[in-house]
Structure 1
Amino acid sequence: MALFTDQGYGGTTVPQIAEAAGLTTRTFFRHFADKRDVLFLRDREFPQAVSAFMASVPSESDGTDTVRAGLAAACQGVQDWREQMARRRSIVHSEPALLERDLLRSHYLARAIEESLHRRGIDPERARTLAAVAVTCFDLAVGRWLEGPADVPLEDCLASAWNDMRTSLTG
């Protein structure tokens, strides 16, 4: 991340990353397909973590409550990552190709939420809709959190985004 921040994403090479990590380039490629994989490393874990958070919500909760509780738990799980997430976001927004990869992250997160809801017996169309709303709210919340005052918890930003979404949809 330091190399990406100091040199820019485009100015950083795989050999530089490998050297900074104390690896050979060959070892780097055993673990990562390319330098984008380094930047999006945690994205592999996040959909599964959100699914686990959602699975921990009491089964009597409806789909909306399940999504909100699962995302609230996810917010608590990443609350201490603010600085790293802000750095990563800045790097991602500097390169159009990385924005595309970030959209893929949102897609995988929506898919994980949708599957979690479906396993709980939520109608597939409702699950798909709730998942799309959840990811949109989460992405909005993260943006507000990273751009806002440092003392505001991510969970508060999520509640605000969720309420704004509800107000927008109901008029």
Structure 2
Amino acid sequence: MGRWQPNARGRLEQAALDLYVERGFAQTTVTEIAGRAGLTERTFFRHFADKREVLFSGSAELQELLVAAVNGAPEGAAPIDAVAAGLDAIGDLMQERRPYARRRQSVITANTELRERELIKLATLSAATAEALHRRGVAEPAASLAAEAGIAVFRIAFGRWVGGPDDKELAQLMRESLAELKAVAAGA
């Protein structure tokens, strides 16, 4: 094995997901992931803290994009509309990764530890969104309520997107879920 291999991170992510789908998360070892990717365990640990993090490695990028879009929403936008701008941004990013997202979600759904990690990721996204709203001048509890509602919209729409037919994009499903939430809140 050479000292340097191009796209080691991507190869590790793909090898891990393939093995998790084939064998199950709990039955897959870091040694097997590294071997499937043609790399060493040492290389694996340069990129990931543990085998769970392979499935959550895009969380920071997702959070940055969401926060940037909330920050960039038009001045004077209602808090929920600023959150909607963030949801649109992440919907566009994730749309091209639908096949990967479906496989990833099937692995997460099958494992309690991974479902807990997913909830932590969503809580982190909510906290970052609330902080972005604070920077826009939104006070509590409005900032936290809008952020939590936005992440709930994301979670519901994401579930429909990965589990449903290919006829709708994630951003569209999030807009529909947000409209439904607004209708519920309005008492319609």
Q: TM-score, normalised by structure 2?
A: 0.86
**Hey, what's the Cα distance between the residues in 2 that align with 1:168 and 1:59?**
26
- Of all paired residues, the percent bearing the same amino acid is 37
Of 108, 124, 131, the match for 1:92:
108
2:117 maps to a residue whose letter is R
Q: Report the equivalent of 1:22.
A: 38
**Hey, what's the Cα distance between the residues in 1 that align with 2:183 and 2:79?**
19
- The number of residues matched between the two structures is 171
Of 152, 163, 166, the match for 2:179:
163
Q: Report the equivalent of 1:132.
A: 148
Question: 1:96-135 to 2 correspondence within 5 Å?
Answer: 96-135=112-151
**Hey, what's the Cα distance between the residues in 1 that align with 2:81 and 2:185?**
17
**Hey, what's the Cα distance between the residues in 2 that align with 1:131 and 1:21?**
38
2:30/2:41 contact within 8 Å kept = yes
The runs of 4+ residues in structure 1 deviating greater than 3 Å are none
Structure 1: unaligned runs, 5 residues or longer: none
**Hey, what's the Cα distance between the residues in 2 that align with 1:61 and 1:147?**
32
Kindly state the Cα deviation for residue 50 of structure 1 after the two structures are TM-superposed: 0.5
Question: 1:23-62 to 2 correspondence within 5 Å?
Answer: 23-62=39-78
Kindly state the Cα deviation for residue 87 of structure 1 after the two structures are TM-superposed: 0.5
After TM superposition, the structure 1 stretch with the greater mean CA deviation from structure 2, 109-118 or 160-169, is 160-169
Q: TM-score, normalised by structure 1?
A: 0.94
2:33 maps to a residue whose letter is I
Residues 132-161 of structure 1: CA deviation (Å, up to 9, x unaligned) = 000000100111111222021111211221
Say what the alpha-carbon RMSD is for the aligned residues. 1.3
**Hey, what's the Cα distance between the residues in 2 that align with 1:30 and 1:47?**
22
2:65/2:86 contact within 8 Å kept = no
**Hey, what's the Cα distance between the residues in 1 that align with 2:173 and 2:142?**
24
**Hey, what's the Cα distance between the residues in 2 that align with 1:114 and 1:133?**
11
Kindly state the Cα deviation for residue 108 of structure 1 after the two structures are TM-superposed: 0.8
Q: Whose helix fraction is larger, Structure 1's or Structure 2's?
A: 1
2:34/2:41 contact within 8 Å kept = yes
Structure 2: unaligned runs, 5 residues or longer: 1-16
